[in-house]
Structure 1
Amino acid sequence: MSGRPGQTWYEVNADNVANSNRFLRAFWAALRHYLGPYAWLFQPYKNGENKIVRFGRVSFSESTVVEFGISYDRRGVIDQLWCRPETDDESLREGVSESVENARRILHHPRSEWYTVEISVFPHVEMANYTADYIKLTGLTSGAVALSLNIPGYDRIDRQTQFYNTAAPILDALSVFTNCSYQYCTTSGHEEFSEEPNVRWCPPDWLDDFPLMRGRLSISSSQLRYLDQLTIESSDSSAVHAARLFHQAIKLDNEGSLTMKDAARMLYLSALEAASAPEQNPNKCVECGQSIYSIRKRVRDVTSRYLGEAAEKIIDQAYRARSGYLHTGNVLGKTDLRAGAGPQLDPSAQSGCIRPAGLDNTINVREFISYILRKIAIDQRSGTASHQS
């Protein structure tokens, strides 16, 4: 195949997007093994007309810089890999060629290793111990937990990268399962909780506060299975997307400022909106052909399904306020009502009065929505979730 001067092309012929990315991971690992450490100048660019994706430049030394990219017939599926050294270096081209061959050999044979990091839990509640085939949660002192994942990869750097890519949705799911937020510890060396794993299971239908069993943060057996599957299966489900928004919301909520609580409430409701998204394409308008989305109805329906009419009314009221906040900047708490001050009127408000800052608490919204998200996550895994469009 012809290309720019100095380009060398290597056949890959991947059959899907997932295997294309596995090949790239294997190739970058083989390249590190053959040519040593390198640094990226990441400058991605896609030329749809010529069906080429350019990744950027790799620097092996001050004098050795190589541009890499791929060609494709189907979007996201590699046909050929190409490289273009900035200087004519035959040994470098041989190294790339050898790395392509090595990537083909190791593509379906990644090596798995356990990788562990310490995670800070907020609020500082100590967690019970859990273990499954691909994940371990070990409670530590000072409100921390050790997260261990059995990660397949092609070298140390690849496994480390895959660990953090995998850990992100797991921590998001844990946030939904426990109403806590999680972030990587800045210090290490916490003592482990000495108890056998998998002896404290929280009931699946808890709603208020945190799932504590004999003083320890706990999850259910079905939630542990969910986390274990999430470790080995990349998921693009609505439950995973919703958990990411929920985790962001609870981090803002934990900051405590009134401004952040308004923003947190919006993210909680956006998480519920994401979780209620139809799994199939929505209906089309017969006149204009555009997709028909009844987002507010979806949110009301999913709330009613899992929590009933009373919760539906509370969430619907919050959802209406969310629209004003996002589209007109209409914050919920508009005045600082000091002790001894009296109420004032606001004809645009449902109550007819200006709502003092801090009057709207996020707790009910958070706890109702986390309950629904927990149910949807497990239902999706078991194939029982049913969303209306």
Structure 2
Amino acid sequence: MPIGKKFVEIRLVLDAFDQVDCEYVFALRSKILMDSLSVWTNCAFYQTGIESGVPHVDDLCRNIFFDQIDWLEDHPIMSGKLCLSTDQLSYGNSIVAGSIGQGERLARAAQLFHEARIMLLSAPHLHNDTAAALLISALEVVSLIDEPPKNCASCGQPIYKISRRVADLGVRHLGAGAKWIFDRHYKRRSSYLHRGVPHAAQPYTGSAIPQLDPQGIEGCALPTPVGAPMNLMEFTSCIIRAEMRSEVAARSLAAP
């Protein structure tokens, strides 16, 4: 529940054996919940404990939901406060109840997204490539399928086609016009992780001087601010939110 411009109060009703067990369960489930909140709002969340001087949650209106489920940019804000949709509330309740744990596919993807979001907010120009790698990895986790991969006819090794899965995931949620974005970011991640090639590494001192770089994007050396993967961040959270909605719907159909 939002209780100010910078604070969100989380209260959980948990089953536990004793106080120690309760604190452990709270720490575990609140972490999953904060990761999901990051996906739902495009914000980063940190556990701060009890803060004095902020409104109490009971003093604010309840059950104000954000109904624009296909939003992409910025944050889901109503009346100056972050809001959630009804399906996100349902997903959050499943986290609190323990039905969705940290090993769940979308929970793992949300954790990677949250880590990337924290990096981009804490030191925007220092972790662009690492954050982008985490975002692509989050999409890779979302795209995981249960069926075993096919084997190569020549060598017998599994064929995973991960890059295609990530691109197909993006196309399924954002349309065919988005395919090149995911293809490009996947290649950049591979170049960064396996060859140490950053996307944008030129220092920025207040003005940008165009320079050629055979190893750079389209032959140009790019200043670090240009390398911030903001569109990828927004696309990734949008896709994970859509997958979470689908999971909530599937759970509702499966419920007796």
Unaligned 5+ residue runs, structure 2? 252-256
Q: CA deviation at 1:164?
A: 0.9
Question: 1:355 maps to which residue?
Answer: 222
- In structure 2, the CA distance between the partners of 1:142 and 1:338, relative to structure 1 (3 Å rule), is closer
**1:184 alignment partner, SS class:** coil
Q: CA deviation at 1:143?
A: 1.4
**2:216 alignment partner, SS class:** coil
Q: CA deviation at 1:327?
A: 0.6
Matched letter for residue 248 of structure 1:
E
Q: CA deviation at 1:192?
A: 2.2
1:192 to 51, 56, 61: 56
Q: CA deviation at 1:142?
A: 4.5
Structure of larger gyration radius: 1
Pair 1:181-2:48 in alignment? no
Matched letter for residue 75 of structure 2:
F
Q: CA deviation at 1:356?
A: 1.9
After TM superposition, the runs of 4+ consecutive aligned structure 1 residues lying more than 6 A away are none
Question: 2:105 maps to which residue?
Answer: 238
Q: Which digits, 9 at most, give the CA deviation of each residue in 1:70-124, with x for residues without a partner? A: xxxxxxxxxxxxxxxxxxxxxxxxxxxxxxxxxxxxxxxxxxxxxxxxxxxxxxx
Q: CA deviation at 1:341?
A: 5.9
Q: Which digits, 9 at most, give the CA deviation of each residue in 1:299-347, with x for residues without a partner? A: 1000000001222212221221111111111111132254566322222
Matched letter for residue 156 of structure 1:
Q
TM-score, with length taken from structure 2: 0.89
**1:140 alignment partner, SS class:** coil
CA distance in 1, matches of 2:3, 2:79: 16
Question: 2:163 maps to which residue?
Answer: 296
State how 1:89-128 maps to structure 2 within 5 Å: none
Higher helix share: 2
Higher strand share: 1
**1:316 alignment partner, SS class:** helix
State how 1:34-45 maps to structure 2 within 5 Å: none
Q: Which digits, 9 at most, give the CA deviation of each residue in 1:218-239, with x for residues without a partner? A: 1100110011012211433321
Q: CA deviation at 1:284?
A: 3.0
- In structure 2, the CA distance between the partners of 1:152 and 1:325, relative to structure 1 (3 Å rule), is same
Q: Does the aligned pair in 2 maintain the 1:276–1:299 contact within 8 Å?
A: yes
1:229 to 70, 73, 94: 94
- In structure 2, the CA distance between the partners of 1:139 and 1:344, relative to structure 1 (3 Å rule), is closer
Question: 1:165 maps to which residue?
Answer: 28
State how 1:329-348 maps to structure 2 within 5 Å: 329-338=196-205, 342-348=209-215
% same residue: 32
Matched letter for residue 231 of structure 2:
N
Q: Does the aligned pair in 1 maintain the 2:204–2:225 contact within 8 Å?
A: no
Q: Does the aligned pair in 2 maintain the 1:207–1:368 contact within 8 Å?
A: yes
CA distance in 2, matches of 1:237, 1:290: 27
- In structure 2, the CA distance between the partners of 1:294 and 1:195, relative to structure 1 (3 Å rule), is same
State how 1:295-334 maps to structure 2 within 5 Å: 295-334=162-201
CA RMSD of the aligned region, Å?
2.0
Q: CA deviation at 1:159?
A: 1.4
CA distance in 1, matches of 2:147, 2:199: 34
Q: Does the aligned pair in 2 maintain the 1:337–1:356 contact within 8 Å?
A: yes
- In structure 2, the CA distance between the partners of 1:257 and 1:195, relative to structure 1 (3 Å rule), is closer
CA distance in 1, matches of 2:68, 2:146: 28
